[in-house]
Each structure stands twice: as structure tokens, then as C-alpha cells.
Amino acid sequence: MLDLQNKHIVLGLTGGIACYKAAELCRALIKQGASVQVVMTESATQFITAVTMQALSNRAVYVSQWDAREPNNMAHINLSREADAILVAPASADFMAKLLHGRADDLLSLMCLARPVSEVPLILAPAMNREMWINPATQRNVVQLTQDGALVLDVGQGDQACGETGDGRMLEPEEIVQDLIAAFQPKLLAGRKVLVTAGPTYEAIDPVRGITNLSSGKMGFAIARAAHEAGAEVTVIAGPVHLSTPRGVIRVDVRSAQDMHGAVMSRVKEASVFVATAAVADWRVSHVAEQKIKKTAKGDAPDLQFTENPDILGEVAKSGRAQSGELFCVGFAAESHDLQKYAQAKREKKGVPLLVGNIGPATFGSDENALLLVDAKSVQEIPKANKLELARKLVAEIAQRMKH
């Protein structure tokens, strides 16, 4: 899935050692389907050459506002009108201060000032020394630029070229690409708080053994990312999975079904949407052995007694906030067969307005899925696709249903 297919991005580079990351960023944008036009300040050429960026973007690089290649000699107008977004990475402290005051004494600043504000978003990825970043003047500039409509990304933390350590590093290329992709997504859940559960739970038998399932958590994490892209404040409560946390999403790691129950109940009171994607174990061992259970001489299997785990979705769906419509609940059903039958039965049993069904063995661990949306009036199939694509469609469905 190419999230930036048919998008034309102007990639602006200002002076700073973080220019070395611009090469990888350019390649990452192109891999996502974008075409990239590089515009550099004179200072940026001290850190990386125009030849390098031309080779990577496969387009001639612009540096001077007096570039004679444009028939009308108005590169700042022509290039900004062709852009779907202007991304300045790295954005130096000096350049951000220049933008704040509307100064336009080079091609890149001219473009930023001349762009159609309502049509061409401006995204800034700051990069500077930690003291420069925390300086009150820089922080005031960030606030004002944001109020003026620019999207100012956060900064990374770590070792800096000067030898110091702290905030101010430019984000990594993949992080910037994710934020750029998010900027293009409609803000269908702006102002909402979304709580998502994801992955399996693990129910211990003894200190080294346990009961779990094959859920990878990929669908839940995709939903968390899609909800964040849609403008929501998102928390994902994750069972034991090996997945990177989506940009901008708060993550809470848990292990057992009881752990997940406690984490959900302590946070769901603030949520406006609850999406129960996790494959929660139905039962747990009643008494967990303190030591590893050894084989007997006769080879007898251990006598395990089970206790039913709390029904997280059912409990949330029966809460006053869910019953009043203040909290919109979405359940998931992973079945091995008769998907529609069991999904409809689960929706009625749990009492949720929307139940999403899928065939578990066909999707666990996969990057793709196919969904069945079941509500009180209809059944809708969403064909097999990338899980992030499906998550965005599901978020759109949730947003639409919350309007009614």
C-alpha cells in the first residue's frame, strides 16, 4: 500500500547537520509513492550537495530564487502551486523565526509565504541544539507557527553532533513520513478519545508455561494508528506483542486478561470510543503453580482447573456511558468458521452497536485481513486488504455511526 501515491511533495532543506537524514527521507517518500521536488537554502548546500538530492529525487534541485530555468522566473510561485504539501526537514531555528515574521529572502521561504495556505499544508521538522530548542524564543515561535496553520512536528531526543545530549534532534525519516501521511488523512475523530485493546493475553500455568493464542496485535495497532491519523487521542492496551508503537499513540503493556481488564476499566471512563480488538483468553488456570510442573513417572497430565476470565467488552458495553451513547463500543470476533452466524450472536450477547468479524486462522500474523461489519440492521463485507487500509475504513464507519 502506497500511502503517498500521486502526492507531490516539495522537500525543503535548511542549514543543519540533520541534512544527512534528508537523503533517506527523500527515498522513503518516493517508496510511499510520492514525487519529490527538493528545494535547498544556500546554508543547506554546506551539509549535503544538490547533486545527491537530485540523484535521489530524479529531479533538478532548486536553490536560487533567481533560477533561470523557470520561463517566468517565478520558481516560488510555480513550485508551490504544484505541491500537495511543503515539508521542511530539517527546519532550523533561524528558518522558523524567518517564517514567523513573514520574511522571504530566499527561494524556500518565498515558497512557504506564497503557497495557497488552504490548499498546501506546511510541515516543519525542527532540528537544532538542545539549548536552541528549549530557548523561550524558539518555543514562542513554535506556538505562533502552529497558530498560523503550520504543522510543527516534535523533536527526537539523544546524542547531538555537538557532543551534547537532549531534545532537538530531527525525527527519523520513517517518523516524519508517518506524520506526513497522517496530515493527509481526514480528521474524522478530532477531539475524541479512543481506547483500543490489541494482541493476545497470556494466562500462566506455572513460571515457564502458559496459555495464549496466535493474535499478533497487528489489526489493533493498525486501528490505533488510523484513529490517531483521524485526529483522536489514542491509547492502545497491548497484550504481549512485538510491534512498534504507532506515532502519537499512548501504549500500555499488559500480560493477562485480568491485567487487561484492570487497564481498560481505569481508562475507559475518559474514552468516547472503545474498540476491543484483543483476543482475550476466555479462561485462566485457577491455581498457578509456584514452580515448574514436572512430568510424573507415569506420564500423567497435570490436573488443571480453570476459572472464567472477566468479560471486558461485555462489562464496558453494559456501563451507563455505553448505554447512554456517550461511549461507542466496537467488538471483534475472531472465528474459525460460520463467521456471520457467530458474529451476529456475539453482537447481540455483548450488546454493542458494531461487531467486526474475521476468520482468525486466516489473519493471525498476516499484514492483510478481510472484515465483516455487523450491526442491528445489516451485514457489510469489507474485502481483503492491508490492515491499515481496513483500519481507516473502520474508523470512517465508526465516525459516521457516531453522528447518528
The residues annotated with a catalytic role in the active site are 162
Which DSSP helix (H) or strand (E) runs through 83? none
Map residue 361 onto helix, strand or coil: helix
SS3 state of residue 363? helix
Handedness of CA 197, 203, 208, 209 (dihedral sign): negative
Residue 15 C-alpha cell reads as 542549514
Q: Looking at 217-256, list the stretches that DSSP marks H as alpha helix, in order from N- to C-terminal side.
A: 218-229
Element (H, E) at 279: none
Which neighbouring-strand residues pair with 23? none
Residue in the structure block whose three cell numbers are 471512563: 269
- What does the alpha-carbon distance between residue 332 and residue 278 come to, in Å, rounded to a whole number? 8
Cα–chain center distance at 45? 33
What distance in Å separates the CA atoms of residue 387 and residue 220, rounded to the nearest whole number? 9
Cα dist. 292→28, 203, 206, 208, 376 in Å? 48, 15, 5, 6, 48
